[in-house]
């Protein structure tokens, strides 16, 4: 399960025949904090080059996982819309 990013599928709970839109998903930030001035921060504070590398590698891996999940959800929504998937 992703920590910082997630897939949002507005049609996920709809049943076959209820779709009024083409299947779609979006990637959104699941966990963040705001700094003074309103800047959004994803991930921890980093105090060394190793921490920077590890944090960036973690975020890349998480985004790759979210990419796969988004593709699966989009494909499932399309199947459901066409009447070939679960209701």
pLDDT along the chain (87 residues), means of 10: 81 66 86 88 92 96 95 87 62
Q: Structure pTM?
A: 0.76
- CA-to-CA distance for 21 and 66, rounded, in angstroms? 22
pLDDT the model gives residue 87 = 47
């Amino acid at each position: 399960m992703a920590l910082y990013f997630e897939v949002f599928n507005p049609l996920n709970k709809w049943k076959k025949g209820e779709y009024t839109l083409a299947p779609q998903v979006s990637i959104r930030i699941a966990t963040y904090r705001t700094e003074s001035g309103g800047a959004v921060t994803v991930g921890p504070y980093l105090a060394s080059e190793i921490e920077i590398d590890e944090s960036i590698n973690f975020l890349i891996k998480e985004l790759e996982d979210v990419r796969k999940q988004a593709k699966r959800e989009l494909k499932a929504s399309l199947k459901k819309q066409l009447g070939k998937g679960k209701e």
